[in-house]
Amino acid sequence: MKKKALPVGTMFLILVIALAAVGVGYALWSETLTITGTVQTGEVDVEFSQYPAEECIDIQGVLTCPEPPEKAAAANCTVAWTNTATDPNDNGANLLQVTVTGMYPSYHCKVGFDVTSTGNVPVHVWLPEPAGDIPAWVATNFENCYADGVQLHQGQSTGKCTVDIHFTNDQAPPENSGPITFGWTILATQFNEDPVADTITIYSNPLNYSGTGWGGWSCTNPAYPKVVSGGVSSPTTGVSLLNSLAWKPGASVGAYTYPLTPFGYSYASGEEGWIVQNNGTPSPLTLYVVCGK
């Protein structure tokens, strides 16, 4: 039987391959690096700051605050500040509840509040929105309120806003009506994810109109600079107007053309709003303006 031997060159190649395999199996040094992470989420948290209620009364068309002592027992306005949150980390009052008893025409219950950010995530705070239907005879004004969508960091507040609840003789419901419950909600959102809305509604402070006087209000939120519509928010009945129109480039009324208004104010470049002319008894009117992008 013949034995075949591999050529010397072939045996050398096999040896080299074998040595290479041994090197891979036993000479690889290694070290493992590890990455660990810990996440602590932030918190969106806002709360009401508390102010006492103020009771006022219209006497011959003049708002008197506080109400005269002889009227104090006729009607009462009380305020409760409570925390209804189920999250134990949500501190402070998140519900403002106003109760008015014995209410009569021209009585005013004024309740002030502000919104404070107590969480470590900045927020945008939006103006109050009705939570359900509000009776037509109830006139509610939000006076000197903050700008819609104002941004707050931890510890910052919106500043005082006042809700004025009242009704007039023209709007009065039947005697012994109620109890009637209504309210508003205030939304606070993380600063970088605001709710997307096509329009917002901005309310003026009460403006004191003469019988045929003019007044107006502007789209003050830079994210919503374009006027869409507007009018009178309060009172809701008994209001007669000579003119009510958008004030924007191209608008005119009588001898006045945008940007100069009939009441002497000249709109700045890019500013738009709504202007109204009264046609009746001198009285305070609260305007609203719907603004878009």
The tokens describing 12, both together, are 């050398």
Banded pLDDT at 293 (limits 50, 70, 90)? confident
pLDDT for the residue 281: 84
Percent of the chain's residues with pLDDT above 70? 80
What is the chain's alpha carbon radius of gyration, rounded to the nearest angstrom? 34
Of 46, 200, 198, 48, the closest CA to residue 124 belongs to 46
Which candidate, 114, 255, 105, 228, places its Cα nearest to that of 169? 105
- Residue 95 scores a pLDDT above 70: yes
Mean pLDDT of 41-55: 81
Contact predicate 113/185, CB 8 Å: no
pLDDT (tens digit, 9 = 90+) per residue, 235-276? 766 788 999 999 999 999 999 999 999 999 999 999 999 999
Q: Rank 16-25, 73-82, 128-137, 197-206 by mean pLDDT and report only the highest.
A: 73-82
Please identify, in words, the CATH class of the domain defined by 46-190: mainly beta
Place of tokens 């507007």: 230
Q: How far apart are CA 109 and CA 140, in angstroms?
A: 10
- Looking at residue 248, its pLDDT comes to 95
Give the other-Cβ count within 10 Å of 205's Cβ: 15
Q: Amino acid letter at 78?
A: T
Dump pLDDT digits (tens) for 107-138. Answer: 888 888 899 998 888 888 888 877 666 666 67
Residue 158 has pLDDT above 60, yes or no: yes
What is the reported pLDDT for 15? 44
CA dist 137 and 170 (Å) reads: 8
pLDDT above 70: residue 38 = no
Provide the residue ranges of all domains of the chain, joining segments of one domain with +.
46-190, 199-292
pTM above 0.75, yes or no: no
Q: How many CB atoms lie within 10 A of CB 133?
A: 7
Listed residue (213, 189, 78, 46) closest to 126, CA to CA: 189
C-alpha 137/C-alpha 119 separation (Å) is: 38
